């Protein structure tokens, strides 16, 4: 016979799992964005230098 706390426990586990998944997805997006910013930083720096010294 199931106890009263069993459905609540599984509900807590489900919610915890959903939260963990959402956090993982959010971190993955943030990590990808950071990686891309770091990869393109030298290009942006070079482009801004070129614009500053390019004759008008």
Task: Give the model confidence (pLDDT) of 3-55 as tens digits.
Answer: 555 557 779 999 999 999 999 999 999 999 999 999 999 988 888 887 776 55
> What is the pLDDT at residue 28?
92
- Look-up: residue for tokens 């010294």? 53
> 3-class secondary structure for the chain?
CCCCHHHHHHHHHHHHHHHHHHHHHHHHHHHHHHHHHHHHHHHHHHHHHHHHHCCC
pTM: 0.51
> What is the pLDDT at residue 56?
56
């Amino acid at each position: 016979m199931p106890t009263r706390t069993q459905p609540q426990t599984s509900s807590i586990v489900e919610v915890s799992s959903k939260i963990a998944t959402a956090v993982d997805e959010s971190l993955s997006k943030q990590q990808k964005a950071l990686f891309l910013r770091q990869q393109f930083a030298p290009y942006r720096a070079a482009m801004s230098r070129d614009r500053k010294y390019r004759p008008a």
